[in-house]
Amino acid sequence: MIRTIVRTGAVALLLLTLGCHRDRVTNVVLDLPPHRVDGVYSVTGDREVTIRWRANQENDIDHYRIYRNLAPTGTFTLVGTTSQTEFVDFSVTNGQTYYYAVSAVDRAGQESAELSYENVFDTPRPEGFGATVTNTFSVDGTSGWDFSARARRSSLDALTDVYYGAANGHTIVYAATGTEIQDAGYVALRDVDFAPPAGWSGDGEVEAIPGHSYIVLTRDGHYAKFEVVSRDNSTMVFDWAYQIDVDNPELTRRAPR
């Protein structure tokens, strides 16, 4: 990582003329590098990470530089530049954690003396929309969902994480043996950022309610989330995301509150 800091000092010129003892001082404006960028945060995606930050207040900002590393400290590598206050990093792998920092560059080519100070990290993960499972009491073979394979399975399949059932006026999502589930309520799926450590259903069942989001901890230590789009006596339609990094509760990141 190369840093360039250019400073132009004030120059004073003293001019003396015969018969006149007036001092004339000419000042050269001090052109300082941009301040450090702040307000940096990330938003998790599927094979992508979006980095956002607050715009610098200097009126001569030309662009921003985005740096990335695989650790919170050490050498950060430049991965992109933009004149906006948002950058999408597409050169990432799901399940790998990345650390980000941002700097500002002015029209003179001067870069912030320091990188942004926020410890911004992100672990992209797969996601899907409009998945459909059937009612286990009528068509069991496709009533279950395997987050790791992004596939429908029978409720009895050892790889099934959750499955759907509708009977006697109740529409239920069941967690497979060893898997935990909880109802996050009327929260948009994109706003379910981290899985909480507590609050799991005592019996492994939740009512399937359109507009509700749910959090899952699979038997093999992977966190997932889904939002019920619609459901009836035959099927349930849902959107989902699955963190393939074991024991990592990060499902998306949002702006600091």
CA 64-67-72 angle, 5° bins: 135
pLDDT, tens only, 222-235: 999 999 999 999 99
Q: What is the mean pLDDT of residues 151-171?
A: 98
Question: What tokens does 257 get?
Answer: 């509150």
pTM of the model: 0.83
The whole-angstrom separation of Cα 206 and Cα 200 is 10
Q: How confident is the model at residue 43 (pLDDT cuts 50, 70, 90)?
A: very high
pLDDT, tens only, 11-20: 233 333 444 4
